[in-house]
A = this chain, B = another copy of it.
Amino acid sequence: LPAAYDELRGLLREAATLRSLGTLAAWDQETMMPPRAGAFRAEELALVSRLAHERFTHPRVGELLAACESDAGLLADSAESANLRGIRRDYERATRLPPGLVSEISRTSSLALEVWRQARGMSDFPSFRPWLDRLVALNRDKASCLGVPEGGELYDALLEDFEPGMTAARLEAVFAPLRRELAPLIAKAATSREPESVSVPVELQREFNLHVAKQVGFEFEAGRLDVSTHPFTEGLGPGDTRITTRYREDGFTDALSSTLHEVGHALYEQGLPKQERLGQPLGEPASLGLHESQSRLWENQVGRSRAFWTWALGEARRVCGEAVRSLTVEQIHRDVNVVRPGLIRIEADETTYNLHVMFRFDIERRMLRGDLPVAEVPSAWNARMAADLGLAVPDDRRGCLQDIHWAAGAIGYFPTYTLGNLYAAQLWETLTAEIGDLEAQLERGEFSGLVAWLRRNIHAHGRRHTAEELCRSLTGRPLDPQALISYLSRKHA
C-alpha cells in the first residue's frame, strides 16, 4: 500500500483516538462522574471534539486523499476503493461546514438543552419555542452548507449524517404503506390490560441480565455492563464496548428488553474491524438505522419470541429462584407482546412505536421546510397523536417536549428508529431462512449461529455499503415495509 495511504490512515486513527477519549468521557459522565465535575467535563468534550475536527479537516488529509485517489493499485482493490470513497464523502462534508457554524450549533444546543429541561418540567412550550426556532434556522444553514442532492430537499443533507444514502422522499415512500397498514392492526390488537407483575430483587435481576448478555455473545473481556438512568451503548474503541441497562423491582422483563437491545448494539460494535480500521469508514457502522436494526432484532425478533423465553425462563428460575416461580412462558410471551397505545415514545410497544417515529419525521421535515411554524408544533403534534394513536395529549411535557433530540439540535435522527425496525424484520426473514432451525437453537439458548450470521453478513463490512445496499444484497430486495408488516400481522393474528 502506498505511503500516502499509510499516513492518511494514521491521521484518521488519531482523529478517531481523540473522539474515543470523548466517548470515554461521555460514558464516565453517565455512569461514574461526581456531580461537581460537570462544567469541566463539558470543557473536555468540547476540546476533544474540536481537536478531532481540526485533525480530520486538515489540508494534509485532503492532499493525501487526492494522492490515494489517483493510485491505480488502491482503486483496483474494491475494499480500499470503497474505503476511500467513504473518506472522501466524510472529508467533503466536514470541510463544507464553516467552523463558526459548527461552534454556534454546539453552543446553541447546549444552552437549548438546559432551557428544554426546564420547559419540559413545567410543560412550558412557549419558553422553548425561540430556541427551537433558532435551532431549526441553524440546521437550515447547516443543510445549505452541506449541499442538497439533485432533486432532493434540505432535510436530505441532515439525514445523511445519520443515515448515509437515505432521502426524505424515499422515507416517505416506505413509511406511507407502513402507517396505512399499522392502523387496522393496532385497532384490532390494542388492549388496555396491564401485564402481570412480579417483584424480583434488583441484585438477582442484575445477575440474570449479566448471564443472558454473556450467553447471547456479549464479550465481557472487551466490555462492561453497568447501570444508568437511560440505557445506552458506547463503543470506546478496539476491545472496549460498554453498555448500560436499568432495573426496577417490578420491571423484570423491561430490564431484559433493555439489556437485549443494548447487547444488539454492542454486538455490532464488537463485530466491527476496529483494530485494523479505526477511524476509517470500513471500521465504522453503516448507519444509525442499521445499528438500530441490530438492537431491535435482539430486543424484538429474539427477545419477544416464545422460543427465546422457553430457554430464558429456565435460566431465570435457576438464577432468580422463588421470585419468578409464578411466571410461565405463555404469560411472559403474551405480556411482552401487548399492544397498548400511549403518549410516550420510549415506553411504547414494538407496534405503536413506529407511529410515534413517523409523525415526528413528518413534523421535523415540515419545520425544516418552513411549512410548519415552530409555534404550531404543539397543535400539529397533538393532532397526530389523536389521528394516529387515538390519544388526547394532556400537556406538552407528555407531548412535543418529551424527546431530547430537537433540543440537542438533531433533526433527521428520528426516522432511523423505524428504519431499524424495518431492517430488522427484513433481515430476520432472510437469516431465518438461511440458518434453518434458528427457532430450535433459540429454544436451547444457542445464539452463536445467529451471531455468526450477523458478524459475517453485517458487522464485518463496516460502512463499506449503505444500509440499503447491504439490505438489498442480503435480502434480494430494497428496503420494503412488507417484512415488518407481515411480522407484526402474524404476531397479532
Contact = CB atoms under 8 A, between A and B. Distances in A.
A454 interface: no
Chain A contact residues: helix, strand, loop or mixed = helix
Given A32-B32, A34-B221, A221-B34, A238 B40 contact: yes
A21 interface: yes
A373 B261 CA distance: 61
A275 B38 CA distance: 12
Given A17-B44, A34-B224, 9 more contacts: A17-B47, A20-B40, A21-B21, A34-B239, A34-B240, A35-B239, A37-B222, A40-B238, A51-B51
B220 A37 contact: no
Interface string A39-78: 1110110011001000000000000000000000000000
Contacts of A237: 37, 40-41, 44
A335 interface: no
Contact of A240 (B33, B221, B238, B278): B33
Contact of A239 (B32, B37, B236): B37
B224 A36 contact: no
A34 B238 contact: no
Interface string A124-155: 00000000000000000000000000000000
A446 interface: no
B28 A44 contact: no
Interface residues of A, number: 36
27 contacts: A14-B47, A17-B40, A17-B43, A21-B24, A21-B25, A21-B48, A24-B25, A32-B32, A34-B221, A34-B222, A36-B219, A36-B222, A36-B238, A36-B240, A37-B222, A37-B236, A37-B237, A37-B238, A37-B240, A38-B239, A39-B239, A40-B237, A40-B238, A40-B239, A40-B240, A40-B275, A41-B237
A24 B47 CA distance: 15
A223 interface: yes
Contacts of A48: 21
Interface in A280-339: none
A442 interface: no
A21 to B, nearest CB: 5
Nearest to A223: B34
A278 B44 CA distance: 12
A18 interface: yes
A40 B277 CA distance: 13
5 closest residue pairs by CB, A with B: A36-B239, A37-B240, A36-B222, A37-B239, A40-B237
A329 to B, nearest CB: 34
Nearest to A242: B34
A243 to B, nearest CB: 11
Interface in A195-221: 219-221
Contacts of A25: 21, 24
A359 to B, nearest CB: 40
A457 B25 CA distance: 33
Interface string A250-285: 000000000000000000000000010010000000
A224 to B, nearest CB: 6
Contacts of A24: 21, 24-25, 28, 44
Given A24-B28, A25-B24, A40-B239, A220 B17 contact: no
Contact of A28 (B28, B221, B278): B28
Contacts of A223: 34
- Most central of A36, A41, A221 by chain B CB within 10 Å: A36
Contacts of A33: 240
